[in-house]
Amino acid sequence: MEYSQRSRKSLTLLKKMLIGEICKRTELSKDTIRFYEKKGLLKVDRSNSEYNNYKEYTKEHVQQLLLIKNAKRFGFTLNEIKELSQLMKMNLATCSTLRKKVTEKVSDIDKRISELMDMKKMILSSLSETQNKHCNKSNTGNCEQLN
């Protein structure tokens, strides 16, 4: 059974989505998706329709956006995600390459945790010093340590 030209066009349209549908499927805002496009993380073609100039998204775009979303959740920056995406497009995102990238990210996180712990100690020490030496008993006016 042959499909008519109109039926084939309808089937093609089912494979392509507008930004509102992509937002629902990825739980990302339109602004976020457009931002990723501007940053080069997502390449989207305009419609070839003579009636509109809408961008049409495919299931591959959904997959790419979900990859970006998950990588961000794991602490990867947009530049790191772009690099990973480029490796994937070149079929170079091997398990060893991914393992190396993840190991580097874990190392970065450990360093950041250490820096935050040092900052916490410094803040608590300052708070203790302020309470013991600088606070006036009347508890009025600005704290003297701010001066």
Picking from 35, 31, 65, 28, the residue whose alpha carbon sits closest to that of residue 57 is 65
Give the per-residue pLDDT at 128: 78
Q: Please report, for the chain, the start and end positions of each structural domain, with discontinuous segments joined by +.
A: 9-75
Query: For the segment 83-138, what is each residue's pLDDT rounded down to a tens digit?
Result: 998 998 899 989 999 999 999 999 999 999 999 999 999 989 888 777 666 666 66
75 has a pLDDT exceeding 80: yes
Whole-prediction pTM value?
0.68
CA distance 114 to 120: 10
The CATH number of domain 9-75 is 3.50.90.10: no
Phi and psi torsions of 146, nearest 5°: -75, -20
Is residue 42's pLDDT more than 50?
A: yes
Residue 7 is predicted with a pLDDT of: 39
Whole-Å CA distances, 20 to 26, 29, 62, 74, 81: 10, 9, 12, 26, 24
E-only strand ranges, the chain: none
- Nearest-10 Cα torsion for 50, 54, 58, 60: 130
